[in-house]
Amino acid sequence: MKILAIETSCDETAAAVLEATESRFLVLSNVISSQIALHNQYGGVVPHLAAREHVKNINHVIKSALKEAKLIIPEVDLIAVTHGPGLGPALLVGLTYAKTLAWQYQKPLIGVNHMDGHIHSNWLEPSEPLDNIFPALNVMVSGGHTELVLMKDHGDYEIIGETLDDAVGEAFDKVARLLGEGYPGGPIISKLAQEGNPQMFDLPRPMLKSKDYNFSYSGLKTAVLYLLRDLGEISEQQKKDIAASFQEAAIDVLIQKTTRAAKEFKIKAILLSGGVSANKLLREYLAKTTQKLEIRFFCPAMQYTTDNAAMIAVAGYFTYKKSGAHSWEQVTMHPNLTL
């Protein structure tokens, strides 16, 4: 089955073509046009500017994806499009394009939850086949989400814990800003941290001792703010030490709660996903943890950690396989869609 997928929920205009054969996926093309440079100057994504860029880019991005895959639309078997969560004006661009194509060429259409897409980024070029993995635990870490998701099957999810305030990626972004660095902050912080001492500053681990699986990252960010206020002017080395100490604290809580959940729910595999899954230290710690627990560990290939349409195609495939195509009315904008 050949799937065309479209993703415009935030600041990447993306399209991909995948060939699915018995739950194995071959990425025939994966085109992403990023707007990071545009939004960088505002310190975050500006919704109406994002939508304007999507309108400018979408035609070219979809045509490039089809061309690279050597495919024409009549040969496509399924169209998958992100319908939430995300920025309303941005989502509408991809949705309108996908619905028009589906109507014009009479193709089945699937509206995909962006977060379900992130989960399914693990099925793209995996280190080993993801057979017999359920119940699995998804560690969803992005700019907008920090969630532990108990997965009983594709599409059968229970959120067992989540952040009560800032998401972990958001904390990386805010701390980078406090340190006078740009956006997105995650890659910048982790690079600075490579030459920093994570033991130099003792930062809090909010909610570590709470019995639930919830998180809180705004307190950690505030602790960095107070630390900077106390230190006054900082040296380059101190900046690296703060980055390393912050990263260690942010990851520590994630690892400990994930370990506890893995034991309680007797899960077979941990799946990491979302933009923060690009973090090397988090991957390393989770790999060690799962080895000790004797459970399997999957994390997306680097190029699929950030927003892309290939992951939307995979999630769309499993939804379609389970319950068939969505109706025209079902595929509509849901900015606050949850898993």
Asked if 307 touches Zn ion (CB under 5 A), the answer is yes
Asked if 11 touches Zn ion (CB under 5 A), the answer is no
Asked if 143 touches ligand KG4 (CB under 6 A), the answer is yes
Asked if 309 touches ligand KG4 (CB under 6 A), the answer is no
Q: Exactly one of 33, 121, 190, 216 binds ligand KG4 (CB under 6 A); which one?
A: 190
CA distance 255 to 259: 6
**Cβ proximity to ligand KG4, 114 vs 326, nearer residue:** 114
Asked if 173 touches ligand KG4 (CB under 6 A), the answer is yes
Residues 246-275 that bind ligand KG4 (CB under 6 A): 274-275
Q: Which partner, ligand KG4, Zn ion, none, binds residue 185 by CB below 5 to 8 Å per kind? A: ligand KG4
Asked if 84 touches ligand KG4 (CB under 6 A), the answer is no
Q: Exactly one of 91, 136, 276, 314 binds ligand KG4 (CB under 6 A); which one?
A: 276
Q: Nearest distance from residue 163's CB to ligand KG4, in Å?
A: 12
Which one of 67-75, 136-144, 215-223, 290-298 is the stretch in contact with ligand KG4 (CB under 6 A)? 136-144
**Cβ proximity to Zn ion, 170 vs 307, nearer residue:** 307
**Cβ proximity to ligand KG4, 9 vs 238, nearer residue:** 9
Query: Which residues of this chain interact with ligand KG4, rule CB under 6 A?
Result: 10, 142-144, 169-170, 172-173, 184-187, 190, 274-276, 278-279, 306-307
Query: Which residues of this chain interact with Zn ion, rule CB under 5 A?
Result: 307
